[in-house]
Structure 1
């Protein structure tokens, strides 16, 4: 029998909590956050939400397997270790009782930890335990469920990530420079990005596919959209017209972008419950300085 979708507001016994944990200084150029989402619901029910477009993530799930699909793909049961590349489309998920540890991977972190070009896993997720690119992280799948102390579990993840740095390639300063440029509100074109990096547009294109997952033009469009969405997530009472980034010509252009990135209209999204991402936006902003991962600024 198919599980019922549940609105946590309907049941005082439901509990959804997302916590963010501090990072070692060595990880800050590569990792946005280490976080834990715990969901407790009545048996046989699930809660659904949409992840916004974001950089890469690894998630380690203990409990009921959530159903997940990126960009309108059919929702399928997620494996215990889910590795997701950078996304330019919303990811639907329906979760039951579970505990999920997450690691947000910044573009510099993708280049640091994975030999796989980011474009090869863009808008996709895979079983991290079966994919050779993520083999170094697979031991966390069995280790994390054995630890009841969440601070100890977060420290285990942090220590594992730090320990892996010793065998990784040198940093590419162009990746951090490109990331810093992308989160600049005034960056308006690929030509401007290439000029900031002192690289040809063709070189920027290759760099973008390798570390960021998408062509630079799409990345600029995504950042413009996320700046607008981030304002709404922190104040859902705002009218969409008041959230618009200054680079939008008008609301119609924003609406087209919204449909491209979220798969629905702004009105439809505003009307949906956001039982996980709504509260998490505030916690994330407090812990990491941005309501959505795609707006996370690289470490200085």
Structure 2
């Protein structure tokens, strides 16, 4: 991993259902080396219908590994997330060094990879926050929190989620009951936060990001019917990044997700139609993942490989940033 700044103090931690299921529960065990196939499971749960514009999914990763055994993977760029661990034995890395995380953290929208490590058995829940959810629930603009992971405390920007961990876990593990408690908490949060005036335009921008024919910010602004300046202002506040970077990130993730779904493919077969050539893609890969495609392919992805396939079946999109609002 390349050397990147890691801001570590008391607040900042890092800078840088089966289809047809009636209970919403779905999981698939990944096919991995070293026996991890039987040690890691991923489950995705759909939020209630009224929450769908604001949250992509709730997800549970269970690590039934031996005490002292470590599992490492690399997160791709995504929208904001709240994550919390039952046992707290997890960390994130930058520049090859890993730093312990508190039990519950919030991560703003990201434009670069985050490496993470779990040491020993644990259960980790995550809540994916879409751009409309960010402006509805968060007082800070998304670009201020972009590419940062912070502890969720009552005096942090993630204060609305500070009690989520305590409200979710029970005396015994119960994924369905825990997902229901998360959903109930999100409903309560939305009930006390009024809709924002920009929400309709944020939804329009979000939907247009899925138009693979859009090649420029000018095209996007024309489709939305607003000036480039207004478009950039809303994108920074709700999406975390300027529209040019958002379009570039979507193009990259469309390609990366195809590889994650089928790692037997060559990179050239996964390239989005907007890439000029493979060298163009390699430059984007280096920017967003901090390594070359060949380096990434040589690594095991015990969590993200499984989660991509599971998420496609359950939520209809291989990665969170490709989740249609």
Q: What is the CA–CA distance in structure 1 between the aligned matches of 2:57 and 2:111, rounded to whole Å?
A: 19
**What is aligned with 1:95?**
118
Residue number in structure 2 paired with 1:111:
135
Distance 1:38 1:51 in 2: 17
Name the SS of the counterpart of 1:29 in structure 2. coil
Give the secondary-structure state (helix, strand or coil) at the position aligned to 1:119: helix
Structure 2: any 5+ residue segments left out of the alignment?
1-30
Which residue pairs with 1:291 in the alignment? 318
Whole-Å separation in 2 of the counterparts to 1:216 and 1:13: 39
Residues 14, 42 of structure 1: 8 Å contact kept: no
Is 1:16 the counterpart of 2:40? The answer is yes
Measure how far apart 1:190 and its partner are: 0.5
> Which residue, out of 58, 65, 75, partners 1:34?
58
State the 1:186 CA deviation.
1.2
Alpha-carbon separation, structure 1, partners of 2:36 and 2:283:
38
What residue is the counterpart of 1:210 in the other structure?
237
Q: C-alpha separation between the residues in 2 aligned to 1:191 and 1:131?
A: 39
How many Å apart are 1:146 and its aligned residue? 2.3
* Structure 1 outlier segments of 4+, above 3 Å: 11-14
The size of the alignment, in residue pairs, is 291
- After superposition, the Cα gap between the structure-2 partners of 1:146 and 1:244, relative to the gap in structure 1 and judged at 3 Å, is same
- Correspondence for 2:174 among 142, 149, 152: 149
Q: Show CA shifts across 1:158-181 (max 9, x none).
A: 011011112223242110101001
Check 1:130–1:74 CA distance in 2 against 1; reply closer, same or farther (3 A cut): farther
Does 1:222 find its partner at 2:281?
A: no
Provide structure 1 residue ranges, at least 5 long, that are not aligned to the other structure.
1-6
SS, match of residue 157 in structure 2: helix
In 2, distance between residues paired with 1:52 and 1:208?
A: 20
In the alignment, is residue 84 of structure 1 matched against residue 107 of structure 2? Answer: yes
Worse overlay, 72-81 or 21-30? 72-81
Q: Give TM-score scaled by structure 2 length.
A: 0.86
Deviations 1:245-298 (A, max 9, x none): 000000000000000000110011111101010011110001111111111111
Residue 168 of structure 1 aligns to a residue in which SS? Answer: coil
TM-score (norm 1): 0.93
Q: 2:46 touches 2:315 (CA, 8 Å); kept in 1?
A: no
Distance 1:11 1:170, change over 3 A: closer
TM-superposition CA deviations, 1:192-221 (whole Å, max 9, x none): 111111111011111111000011111110
Q: Which protein has the bigger helix share?
A: 1
2:98 aligns with 75
* 1:85 CA displacement: 0.2
1:282 aligns with 2:309: yes
Tell me what 2:16 maps to.
none
RMSD: 1.7
Residue of structure 1 equivalent to 2:215: 188
Tell me which residue corresponds to 2:28.
Answer: none
Tell me which residue corresponds to 1:252: 279
Partner secondary structure for residue 34 of structure 1: strand
Deviation at 1:145, TM superposition (A): 2.8
